[in-house]
Structure 1
Amino acid sequence: MTAGTRLLPARSNRFIIISSCIVLSLFFIYLVPKGDSNCHTLRPIHESAEHFSTQQLPLSFENLNGLKATADAVENKEHVLILTPLKNAEPYLPRYFELIEALSYPKDLISLSFLVSDTTDNTIQYLSNYADSKAGSADSYHSFNIYEKDFDFVMPEGDRHQFEVQAIRRKFMARSRNYLLTAALKNEHLWVLWLDVDVVDYPSTVLQDLISLNKDVVVPNCLLKTEDGSFWGYDKNNWQETTESLEFQSTLEENVVLVEGYEELQTHRVYLTDFPTHGDKLHTIPLDGVGATFTLVKAQVHREGGNFPAYTFQHEVETEGFAKMAKALGFGVFGLPAYLIYHINNS
């Protein structure tokens, strides 16, 4: 060793060697692409998202801008969804289906859906048997769906029209309608018909007739079927507000529910059945409340939030609450005084 040469301690040499190894390791880990099939090189975020959406997650895209009901529904092949909530309805179903089969609207554009609640008869079995009988036939429907949802609401059948039970009964009806609507409504449906199972007479052209008016919500005039053909109004849930009815409502507490057709409560409204029934069948008048014996609704009204309130909404629940809600959303509600349909006398 020559004079003036300085030796580094052994510990310093080890430090330099270890530091160099760490730097080289980091270089290979982060900067050199790997060929291992279990590792992936970094990709831009949009490529990575595209990879996962097409490779690992189910992807569905539907453009809802074209969901528009028109007055030319048959020509445009617009689908109609018929909705009927049921309870112990077996005796009414033969006539119900007889009338639907007679409809002139194309069967392949009609979907039928039912919600059966708290039933003790063979309603579900009858529906199932009927669906089986239509399967594969030339006049089969586009779809046929049966849903069951019990609410444990028990009331003697003979008491269902009593004044005292109307508010609670109608709130349960609202819940059943909302279950049926949310289960059955599909993007293909442009019109929704709410049809009572115990409506026993209406024209075979009724769907085309009502659709031709191109209204958001429209109802015919539902009368009571009588043996002698005498005039008796049935659906008193189709009505107009009056100055007197609005003044009366201003005196009520917010949670008071109004129901129609009872001596115990005079609402001062004008019913659709009060208007003249002669003249043009397709003449319409504006309404503020509707029932659901036969109510045609553009599906858009439901899609944009029009449902059946099971709570007090502007002093209404269920169908009249739906009419109030539809109007609050900016849709029109109309009735046809001279277009007559008939309901069975089951009071």
Structure 2
Amino acid sequence: MILTEKPSNIYTSSLRGNKRLSVLVLAILSFIVLSFFTFSKSPLSLRGPSCGRTIRTLSEAVALSSSTTSRTHQNGGQAKFINLNDLEATANAKHEQEHVLILTPLKNAEVYLARYFELIDRLTYPKHLITVAFLVSDTTDQTVSILKQKADEFLNRQELEHRYHEIAIYEKDFNFQLPEEKRHTFELQPLRRSFMARSRNYLLTAALREYHSWVLWLDVDVVDYSDSILEDLQSVDVDVVVPNCLLKTEDGSFWGYDKNNWQETDQSIEMQKSLDPDYVLLEGYYEFLTNRYLMVDMPTHLGKLEKVPLDGVGATFTLVKAQVHREGANFPPYVFQHQVETEGFAKMAKAMGFGVYGLPGYIIHHIKNS
């Protein structure tokens, strides 16, 4: 019989140690290769989950690798826990680092985009706390390509403090075509506003995230407002607030633009009692006078932040605490208390107990559309 000597414990331990070392080295090499390819990738698609953000740090690369790996495990993963009780919208939002979501629905807007982005970029609110999202509908011009170009610029600046948190571009066609010269025709307003409401609701549900404290509805053709307007409006500390939007004129004369900001009066309330429930009321049209008190007709000398309660609002520049939308106040495409879209939103918010206010002395300007 041939006897074979059993290997010593020292030899066995050495083999095991070498195996561990080999596995460790392979793991490190795999991570380095993964990081190399991750950092060398071109910016992600603007339509993807990251909305065009480039991976810029090692921690981001590790996070991407970890999230990708976790998705591949059929039996793995952890629950996502978010305490919405901690989410607030305060009068001191800038100091509290509260996120703002700017929402703008668009259609054939290429001529307005340069000024739009110029004004947004002048805002003194921290860029890393700002998300901008667009919904482009039924567009035939270069709106989408311009948006992609500007998004790439704003998201990949060298200075971190000048980079925006996120920019998202959504596209949803409603196959609604209306000649520009008929855009403000009285008879077509209920139908046009109904499609606008659908557009806003699509954009809101697509873009609102759990970390957003504020939602700003901003028209693409607003051409003048203060750099500190976000902080100013936030300091009023109400659920919904709008500045007074006037028409931009060459001589600086006072011409009201956004007539959807208004208060009900005794006469307007009495008049509505005899209306068909499906009748949509519109402001600024001689065809049907509502007898409401428009904010563009209110005194403007009492101070920029002097607020008045409103019953209807437009959306040229409307700041909303995100909680208002989260609890269900959106833009009705149907008739709600004789209103649709933005004015219907104000009526809905008030019916839910939220406060809606305007600032007659805080002036912004809208371009004169063709």
* TM-score bracket for this pair, using the shorter chain length: 0.7 to 0.9
Aligned equivalent of 2:142, options 98, 122, 127: 122
Give the 5 Å matches for 1:163-174. 163-174=186-197
C-alpha distance in 1 between matches for 2:279 and 2:302: 38
Q: Name the counterpart of 2:156.
A: 136
Aligned equivalent of 2:132, options 100, 112, 117: 112
C-alpha distance in 1 between matches for 2:98 and 2:234: 10
- Determine helix, strand or coil for the equivalent of 1:172: helix
Aligned equivalent of 1:103, options 102, 114, 123: 123
C-alpha distance in 1 between matches for 2:176 and 2:291: 31
Q: Name the counterpart of 1:279.
A: 302
Q: Name the counterpart of 1:78.
A: 98
**Is structure 2 residue 88 aligned with structure 1 residue 68?**
yes
Q: Which runs of no fewer than 5 residues in structure 1 stay unpaired? A: 1-53
| 1:57 Cα offset (Å) | 6.2
**Is structure 2 residue 230 aligned with structure 1 residue 207?**
yes
Q: CA-to-partner distance for each residue in 1:154-208, whole Å, 9 max, x for gaps?
A: 1101210110100000000000000000000001100000000000000000000
Which amino acid is 1:200 matched to? V
Aligned equivalent of 1:156, options 173, 179, 189: 179
Q: CA-to-partner distance for each residue in 1:272-308, whole Å, 9 max, x for gaps?
A: 0111111311000000000000000000000000100
Q: Name the counterpart of 2:363.
A: 340
Does the C-alpha gap of structure 1 residues 62 and 228 become closer, same or farther in structure 2, counting only changes over 3 Å? same
Identity %: 66
User: Normalising by structure 1, what TM-score?
Assistant: 0.83
Aligned equivalent of 1:258, options 251, 256, 281: 281
| 1:133 Cα offset (Å) | 1.6
| 1:247 Cα offset (Å) | 0.5
| 1:58 Cα offset (Å) | 5.1
| 1:59 Cα offset (Å) | 1.9
Give the 5 Å matches for 1:1-347. 55=75, 59-137=79-157, 138=159, 139-347=162-370
After TM superposition, which residue ranges in structure 1, 4 or more long, deviate above 3 angstroms?
54-58
C-alpha distance in 2 between matches for 1:74 and 1:264: 45
| 1:132 Cα offset (Å) | 1.3
- Determine helix, strand or coil for the equivalent of 1:181: helix
- Determine helix, strand or coil for the equivalent of 1:115: strand
**RMSD of aligned Cα (Å):** 1.1
C-alpha distance in 2 between matches for 1:136 and 1:246: 52
Which amino acid is 1:188 matched to? Y
Which amino acid is 1:318 matched to? E
| 1:55 Cα offset (Å) | 4.1
Q: CA-to-partner distance for each residue in 1:52-81, whole Å, 9 max, x for gaps?
A: xx9456522111111111111011100000
- Determine helix, strand or coil for the equivalent of 1:113: strand
Which amino acid is 2:82 matched to? E
Answer 1 or 2: which has greater helix percent. Answer: 2
Highest Rg: 1 or 2? 1
- Determine helix, strand or coil for the equivalent of 1:337: strand
Q: Retained in 1: the 8 A contact 2:103–2:215? A: yes
Q: How many residue pairs align between the two structures?
A: 294
Question: Relative to structure 2, which stretch is displaced further, 127-136 or 312-321?
Answer: 127-136
Q: CA-to-partner distance for each residue in 1:95-140, whole Å, 9 max, x for gaps?
A: 0001001000000000000000000100000000111122321211
Q: CA-to-partner distance for each residue in 1:32-52, whole Å, 9 max, x for gaps?
A: xxxxxxxxxxxxxxxxxxxxx
C-alpha distance in 2 between matches for 1:336 and 1:206: 12
Q: Which runs of no fewer than 5 residues in structure 2 stay unpaired? A: 1-73
Q: Name the counterpart of 2:33.
A: none
